[in-house]
Homo-oligomer: A and B are copies of this chain.
Amino acid sequence: MPAEFEPHDACWMLWPERRDNWRARAQPAQRAFTAVAGAIARFEPVSVGASAQQYATARAALPAAVRVVELSSDDAWMRDVGPSFVVNAAGALRGVHWRFNAWGGLYRDFRRDRQVAHKVLELAGCERYCAPLINEGGAIHVDGQGTVLVTEQCLLKRNPSLSRVQLERLLKRYLGASCVIWLGEGVIDDETSGHIDNLACFARPGEVCLTWSDDRHDPQHRVSQDAWERLMAARDARGRRLVVHRLPSPGPLYMTRREARGVVANRAIRALRAGQRLAGSYVNFYLANGAVILPLLDASTDGAARQVLRRVFPRRRIVGLPAREILLGGGDLHCITQQQPRRGPGRRTGSE
């Protein structure tokens, strides 16, 4: 599996519409998604999938440079329901289609989410590997050289019938990896049960960004400290020690009453409630070709996060976008994207 920091041919996204997860008829979220799609489209081709009902709305809202395709889902988290693109031994692009259970059952009907990866792969003209474990794209990060980064909290919880050894074997087989680095828990109150893409990610081979809190009264401190220690002790697939860059945690952030009131009640889904902590993290950025698309979450920490990323990615443009409306839906900027790696020769040369 090529890493996200390698060159892309495209970025895939979905269009948010469900009113029992997105406040105010999903319109603030649609504006936020539109800004993300438009920003990424300046660096690589973007396709946004919308349901038949929302197609015209999405097409009218999104910039002309963004391709809109009919592609329905049960929500809009392309990172998790889309395929994980890999390259086979012959160099051809393929997609892994993970089993999916709505993040352990956040909502009951997820038949459309289950089809998204297949539909994307049909559109991309890629063959599909169906992997026999429950997983989401947000639960894995790779360095493109055989290292996979995951959390115990997420993988083990999602697959209670599989042992850690069995999970490692499956991850290695389907991602073409040789080394799995296990962190413990994910970001506090993350309803994905600890997705790695909110906690830590690879900036390049041998270098990891980690969300960090110095506040010892914040439970996030303990989680990040544990991740830090594990990362310090780890060796990657090539036997290297890792360099870790700390990104400050925003907030803590909480859902306001006003925000919660805008969501249509539905007992069949677990939506966020007023007062609930939001799992905001600057690690949830997206790496487009030549750019970092950074979620802006808290005016008091946005600048510091941007500074760290400028140092980590000196040759990429840092594009910050307001992401609170995405966060209110239960994920963040990275969670609504899925990169399609560049095909053919030159793929591994990198964009930086």
B-binding residues in A (CB < 8 A): 49, 51-52, 55-56, 59, 67-72, 112, 115, 118-119, 122-123, 125
Contact = CB atoms under 8 A, between A and B. Distances in A.
Contacts of A69: 69-70, 119, 122-123
A311 to B, nearest CB: 38
24 contacts: A49-B70, A51-B52, A52-B52, A52-B72, A52-B112, A55-B115, A55-B119, A56-B115, A59-B118, A59-B122, A67-B122, A67-B123, A67-B125, A68-B122, A69-B69, A69-B70, A69-B119, A69-B122, A69-B123, A70-B70, A70-B71, A70-B72, A70-B119, A123-B123
Contacts of A67: 122-123, 125
Given A68-B122, A70-B119, 12 more contacts: A51-B52, A52-B52, A52-B72, A52-B112, A56-B115, A59-B118, A59-B122, A67-B123, A67-B125, A69-B69, A69-B70, A123-B123
A52 B55 CA distance: 13
Nearest to A51: B52
Give the one of A51, A55, A125 with max B CB within 10 A.
Answer: A55
Contacts of A123: 67, 69, 123
A119 B52 CA distance: 10
A231 to B, nearest CB: 41
Nearest to A127: B64
Nearest to A112: B52
Contacts of A71: 70
A115 B67 CA distance: 14
Nearest to A56: B115
A115 B57 CA distance: 12
Nearest to A72: B52
A114 to B, nearest CB: 9
A76 to B, nearest CB: 15
The 4 closest A-B pairs by CB, nearest first: A52-B72, A70-B70, A70-B71, A67-B122
A125 B9 CA distance: 14
A59 B118 CA distance: 10
A123 B67 CA distance: 8
A118 B59 CA distance: 10
Contacts of A125: 67
Contacts of A118: 59
Give the one of A59, A70, A72, A118 with max B CB within 10 A.
Answer: A70
Nearest to A45: B125
A115 to B, nearest CB: 6
A46 to B, nearest CB: 12
A218 B57 CA distance: 50
Contacts of A51: 52
A132 to B, nearest CB: 19
A57 to B, nearest CB: 12
Nearest to A111: B56
A147 to B, nearest CB: 34
A52 to B, nearest CB: 4
A56 B123 CA distance: 15
A118 to B, nearest CB: 7
Contacts of A52: 51-52, 72, 112
